[in-house]
Amino acid sequence: MTAAVDLSIVIPVYDEVANLRPLWLELDPVLREIGLTAEVIFVDDGSTDGGAAIIRELVATDKRLRLIRFAANAGLTAAFYAGLRAARGEIIVTMDADLQNDPHDIPALLRHLEGFDAAVGWRRHRDDPWLKRVSSIVGNAVRNVVSGDRVHDSACSLRAMRRECLEALLPFQGMHRFLPTLLRISGYRVVEVAVGHRPRRFGRSKFTVRNRALRAFADLLAVCWMMRRRIRYRVIEEIDGGR
């Protein structure tokens, strides 16, 4: 599919009704400052709090906005994947809808694409409860030891990538947590960029240590299996007599 805009922003949404209008009020001036043709894709992952109605109202006021709505909750990976597949931009940015990602970090990510294929956020100073911070540190350490990669913050949703990077992303549960590693093993140049992190203002987190640890470890094993089964070869000559 030919890209129709310069930039696509993909935002999964699950029961974040109070955050949607404030998010757009922050994101809109940032997009105008960037000056690229853009679209914003909200992927509603089966919300039950009326958030889809808010997104419809926003879409009606601005032609840059789009809504994809799931029939039922399918999970964050599915929401990201659906948004990435629908994106029409040459560059694609992903972010959360809970206001903890700062839209003002997007220009810095885009600047790093001048020398890299993808720029992934690194929340050096997380504004989360201590247990969540500790579990994130441990989780990243385990991922790096098992996968052999070096990623400080693999679960940060604030990322920017060139369109061709989509070829490296496979539709399996947990894909979004291993995006930097998946890109690197496919040969893409990835850089980590320090980004801000803000406390949650409205609503509550959908993820806890209990509901994420075992699932994340199972996803890690799947990624390691793919890394070990990866096809490797180097072409030293190719001759085509017809051209």
Total-model pTM: 0.78
pLDDT of residue 228: 64
pLDDT of residue 130: 47
- Is the predicted pLDDT of residue 177 greater than 70, yes or no? yes
Q: Which CATH class is domain 5-228?
A: alpha beta
Average pLDDT over residues 161-167: 95
Residue 90 · residue 9 · CB < 8 Å? no
Amino acid at 105: D
pLDDT in tens, 98-148: 999 999 999 999 999 999 999 999 988 766 554 555 455 555 555 555 555
Task: Give 214's contacts (C-beta < 8 A, 6+ positions apart).
Answer: none
Give which of 48, 54, 92 is closest to 70, Cα–Cα.
48
Sort strands 118-122 and 159-162 into parallel, antiparallel or unpaired.
antiparallel
In the chain, where the domains are located: 5-228
Q: Which sign does the torsion angle of CA 48, 54, 55, 59 carry?
A: positive
Average pLDDT over residues 217-241: 68
